[in-house]
Amino acid sequence: MNTPADQFPAGIEVCDCLTPFGDAVATAAALLAGRRALELTPVLGRDGGDLVPLALTGPMDESLPPRWLRSLRRLAAGIPPAAWGAARTPVVVTSSNFGVGSLYAFTRDRDVRHLAHGTPFASVDLLRNEFGWGEHVHVFSHACVTAHLGLAHAARLLHAGLADRALVFSFDFVSPFVAGGFHSLKILNGALPAPYARRETGSIGLGDGAAFAVLVRETRPFRLAAHALYNEMFHFTGNQPDSAGFATCAASIAAAASGRRVWVKGHGTGTLEAGRLEAEVVARQFPDAPLTGWKGSLGHTLGSCGLVELAVALAALRGGRIPGTVGGAAPSFIDAVALAPFASADFDGAILTSNAFGGAHAAMLLTHD
Amino acid sequence: MTERYLHQLRVELPAPEESAAGARVRLADKFPRMALRRMTHLGLLIGATLDGASLGPEDAVVFASTFAETRALEDFLGSFPAASPLLFQTSIHPGSVQQVLIGRQQPIARLWPLAGRTRLVEQALLTALIEPALRVALVGGEERGTWMLEHKMASSRSFAFAAILTHESAGALGRIVFTPGAPTDTACPTLEHFAQAMAGRRPLTWQGAGGVWALEWL
């Protein structure tokens, strides 16, 4: 059964991200040039371990203050001034990691100072103090679809008349905690990811990423027109083999995008089964759309990937060319996988998707003048 | 004014000393044996509060927890350098709700896992009130930590609650009401305080998010 996508259009006042390449413009340029930020790195940082592909903004080992704070200060400098965190101008923070790397650092070093920002609320309190946000900071954490939830929630607040502007802020920085976890699942291994490529073994990379967007109810040149969410609850780390979960979410967002010429930025981590299911559903639901994915370069920025990749998409649209699937290779699961950049002029919308543990699916429709 | 009616309310406030193993014995008849073995304390408590609550693929779940998957997090950290894949999966928010719904093979439309603290209850209620699904399961809970509790980074007690929120007044136990218009905030109940009010059918009221909140019993 398909539930309709949320259609509460929100204007994007400003949106930017931070990746190892820099801001959204620099990141889009690097992707257009086919550059990879992923490098083979010891999975446990200074504690060693197998080499795995990570895209880092600096050494992964946690520091005091936490290594992500300096990066977030740089990113937050681009947020327009407002009484963020007041009831009418809420902040929605989305992350799947928060400061969990600090918990790992504590268990290794026994330095209690790491604990000051090790939990979601403690890391968000640090951000509130740092950026002067009020108490109305909504915090969501739903693994790799988290940023989609934050954007959809902000749009709902705006359209319910409960907010005038909303700041969605997302951050996920790789730590031995999360790298070790994905390594234990065998999907973070020694191979670089090749999203949507038909090959013997699947692999993902992980990346540091942070991003923000200010959403308003009024129209703007770029708009988030619709959001679709679905949770198949079939398996913690697997999807329904008949791709019903992907298909349900895709059908909802496709209905909202009816009549538009869209391209699709998929989740595309580099795993084989999920990549195949995703690509096949895209081919069925959007037969004329090129499918691209950027995690073969940026790595998977986890709970922040939806917002990081939205910022990259916006920068690419402003430049008129959309990056192809960096790291992908023929043969792909479907012919529509774009391995090279393509012009955006032929399209008037984009579908951006993410997936997560538990069979969670998210998609949003980005439209523009 | 925006409101939702509470149905099928259940609250789990186990004895403070109850462990996950104890909960497994106490609640064994509510879960398949294979699933029971791997469930966390919070997963067991949430499963018990959702027992008998029917959810469909068009419904939504709002899940509030400040500390979330505490014990799995502690145990996963203890598993390094040979990180445990099972503990990694269950340490990720909202693993406790997913344990229950995956166990039931119960798809849902939307899952909103919140992880705040200061105004967590208010934000969870707000999320539920603006959710268009006709049936919204409002779920919350914590599990008691061990070493993280010593550092005030975990709950001091385990508890969970769940209620189905609808627009139907018939047969409702209570209702959540939000009336816009209050310019100032007052203290928002903590998640544990809210759970206790639900268990004791005690009314609550406070101001926040630009309005007045009320938990009322019918």
Q: At residue A161, does pLDDT exceed 70?
A: yes
The closest of A102, A105, A107, A113 to B74, measured between CA atoms, is: A107
| pLDDT at residue A3 in the model | 86
CB proximity A180 to B under 8 Å: yes
Mean per-residue pLDDT, A158-163: 97
What CATH number does residue A361 fall under? 3.40.47.10
CB proximity A140 to B under 8 Å: yes
**Three-state DSSP state, B7:** strand
pLDDT in tens, A234-270: 999 999 999 999 999 999 999 999 999 999 999 999 9
DSSP 8-class letter at B190: P
Structure tokens, B166: 């609808």
A contact test, residue of B111, B136, B147 with most A CBs within 10 A = B111
| pLDDT at residue A96 in the model | 97
Q: At residue B35, does pLDDT exceed 90?
A: no
* Alpha carbon distance B71, B90 (integer Å): 9
Q: At residue A2, does pLDDT exceed 80?
A: no
Q: At residue B214, does pLDDT exceed 70?
A: yes
Mean per-residue pLDDT, B188-214: 98
| pLDDT at residue B34 in the model | 83
* Alpha carbon distance A212, B106 (integer Å): 33
Question: Which residues from A are below 8 Å from B64, CB to CB?
Answer: none
CB proximity A116 to B under 8 Å: no
Share of chain A above pLDDT 70, in %: 100
| pLDDT at residue B76 in the model | 96
Mean per-residue pLDDT, B36-60: 95
Domain count, chain A: 1
* Alpha carbon distance A168, A149 (integer Å): 10
Q: Which domains does chain B have, with CATH numbers?
A: 2-171 (3.40.47.10)
CB proximity B19 to A under 8 Å: no
β B211-217/B174-180 pair status: antiparallel
- The upper half-sphere exposure of residue A284, i.e. CA atoms within 13 Å in the direction of its Cβ, equals 14
| pLDDT at residue A330 in the model | 97
**Three-state DSSP state, B130:** coil
DSSP 8-class letter at A282: H
| pLDDT at residue B182 in the model | 82
pLDDT in tens, B113-136: 999 999 999 999 999 999 999 999
pLDDT in tens, A309-330: 999 999 999 999 999 999 999 9
* Alpha carbon distance A274, A92 (integer Å): 29
pLDDT in tens, A38-96: 999 999 999 999 999 999 999 999 999 999 999 999 999 999 999 999 999 999 999 99
Average pLDDT of the residues of chain A: 97
| pLDDT at residue A1 in the model | 58
| pLDDT at residue A282 in the model | 98
Neighbours of B181 (CB within 10 A): 9
Structural domain boundaries enclosing A281: 1-369
* Alpha carbon distance A282, A265 (integer Å): 10
* Alpha carbon distance A291, A300 (integer Å): 17
β A342-343/A222-231 pair status: unpaired
| pLDDT at residue A144 in the model | 97
- Do the chains contact at B208 and A1, CB–CB below 8 Å? no
Residue A331's pLDDT band (boundaries 50, 70, 90)?
Answer: very high
Identity of the residue in A103, A160, A233 whose CB atom sits nearest the CB atom of B108: A233
Which residue of chain B has the CA closest to A188?
Answer: B85
- Do the chains contact at A232 and B107, CB–CB below 8 Å? yes
Q: Give the count of Cβ contacts less than 8 A between chain A and B.
A: 162
β A10-18/A222-231 pair status: antiparallel
- Do the chains contact at A1 and B58, CB–CB below 8 Å? yes
CB proximity B57 to A under 8 Å: yes
- Do the chains contact at A162 and B209, CB–CB below 8 Å? yes
| pLDDT at residue B54 in the model | 86
pLDDT in tens, B58-80: 999 999 999 999 999 999 999 99
